[in-house]
Amino acid sequence: MGSEMCIRDRAIRPANGGWERVTYSYLLRIVEDGGLGTQICLVYTFMVVIIKGRNLNAVADAIDAESCLFVQEYDSVRWQKPADASAPFIDSIEIHAERPADELAARGAAG
């Protein structure tokens, strides 16, 4: 396998809400904003994930190479903003699914 690391699935971690673990085999398309690095759209067979931020080209490349372990939204309660303005930074993650993880977690907690 060489020095390249291939990851079977990726975690999608919004700041407020349930996290999703999604197998790469469900990913149909990676849609970018024409090289601006401010938005990535991941189209899966059962959901769409919209990632917004800055300097996201490297993130899209890692997802395409199946070497991205997770994408995580910045949470101002947990972390200070990074000082490196050239580093990838995720402002928001929107998950559009038939049954989002938040809904499933709430159902589990309800009994």
Residue 51 has a pLDDT of 96
Question: What was the pLDDT predicted at 108?
Answer: 53
Which residue, among 58, 60, 62, 56, has the nearest Cα to 74 in the 3D structure? 56
Q: To the nearest whole number, what is the mean pLDDT of the chain?
A: 83
Q: Which of 54 and 68 is assigned the larger pLDDT?
A: 54
Q: Report the pLDDT value the prediction gives residue 102, as an integer from 0 to 100.
A: 54
Q: Distance (Å, rounded) from C-alpha 36 to C-alpha 110?
A: 43
Which pLDDT value is given to residue 24? 87
The pLDDT tens digits for 61-106 are 999 998 988 899 999 888 888 889 999 999 999 999 876 555 555 5
Output the DSSP codes for 82-107. PS-TTS-EEEEEEEEESS-HHHHHHH
Rounded distance, CA 72 to CA 101, Å? 15
Residue 25 predicted with pLDDT over 50: yes
The residue with greater pLDDT, 45 or 106, is 45
Q: What pLDDT is recorded for position 2?
A: 39
Residue whose token pair is 């995580």: 72
